[in-house]
Copies of this chain bind each other. A is one copy, B any other.
């Protein structure tokens, strides 16, 4: 059993690659819920959905998010009505949110819903939201306080962040399934997701950081940065804004005390020695998963 701390797109790709190398049922993903949002009355879990869709082979490669074969009738009508349509919800995607929202209103948990959606879509990787309590990522920015989706989608993360807060994290409870998956896995993996807004809100749930730190020697992390840049999203910019070096070294420092082995990209090979001096193992390989060969190589490096 291996357990992967997971955000959205980067984690989804790594999980996909891993499940080509070992049995999917041997993999658990502990998934961030800090960017979950209630919009139009619907409970939306972007990271869980991205992973589910990707592992089901339903991800939309052209858009880079959402479902393939998507249509946009509801959004187009919502715009006609003058409604808020900046958060694009496809018709197919909406079915997921309607399903989840109905189940939650009937007393199911996000854990239950993630399990049932995965089963329905033929996904064997265990998808575990880190908590069933509400944790809300908020940004203190030069435009004022923004919710996650206002920051990320509405403003295209093109605004300076002064601080990030995970409201509710302090009093949230990691689920028993998550605590078991963290304790019982032979290896813990930190996916190449955004450290500050995808992985940190997982680590901030009481108990999680402590287990990861205790198991440090079993923790493998894949750097989300290559030559100081993320493939996607604001990881590099946020590291800089919050006082870290804008490089894989900055990421390593951010996760200080939590990681035994780092997997960094060939393009960052020159940083390996500096990172090793921090008392961790370093493996150098291709971390870009665009091609199947690369993805398999990375998956094998994570598992070796």
Q: A94 an interface residue at 8 Å Cβ cutoff?
A: yes
Q: Fill in one digit per residue for A81-108: 1 if any B CB lies within 8 Å of its CB, else 0.
A: 1111000000110111111011011000
Q: Report the separation of the CA atoms of residues A81 and B67 in the bound assembly, to the nearest whole angstrom.
A: 14
Q: Fill in one digit per residue for A71-84: 1 if any B CB lies within 8 Å of its CB, else 0.
A: 10111011011111
Q: Report the separation of the CA atoms of residues A49 and B97 in the bound assembly, to the nearest whole angstrom.
A: 22
Whether A99 and B81, one on each chain, are in contact in the complex, defined by CB atoms closer than 8 angstroms, is yes
Known contacts A42-B42, A43-B41, A94-B94; A83 and B71 CB within 8 A of each other:
no
Whether B105 and A83, one on each chain, are in contact in the complex, defined by CB atoms closer than 8 angstroms, is no
Q: How many copies does the complex hold?
A: 2
Q: A185 an interface residue at 8 Å Cβ cutoff?
A: no
Q: Report the separation of the CA atoms of residues A91 and B120 in the bound assembly, to the nearest whole angstrom.
A: 22
| Chain B residues closer than 8 Å to A92, beta-carbon distance | 73-74, 77
Q: Report the separation of the CA atoms of residues A169 and B241 in the bound assembly, to the nearest whole angstrom.
A: 54
Question: 15 A-B pairs, CB-CB below 8 angstroms?
Answer: A40-B41, A40-B42, A40-B99, A40-B102, A41-B97, A42-B98, A73-B92, A74-B91, A74-B94, A77-B96, A81-B99, A81-B121, A82-B116, A83-B99, A94-B94
Contact of A95 among B38, B83, B99, B121 (CB under 8 A): B83
Q: Report the separation of the CA atoms of residues A101 and B117 in the bound assembly, to the nearest whole angstrom.
A: 24
A58 CB, nearest partner CB in chain B, Å: 11
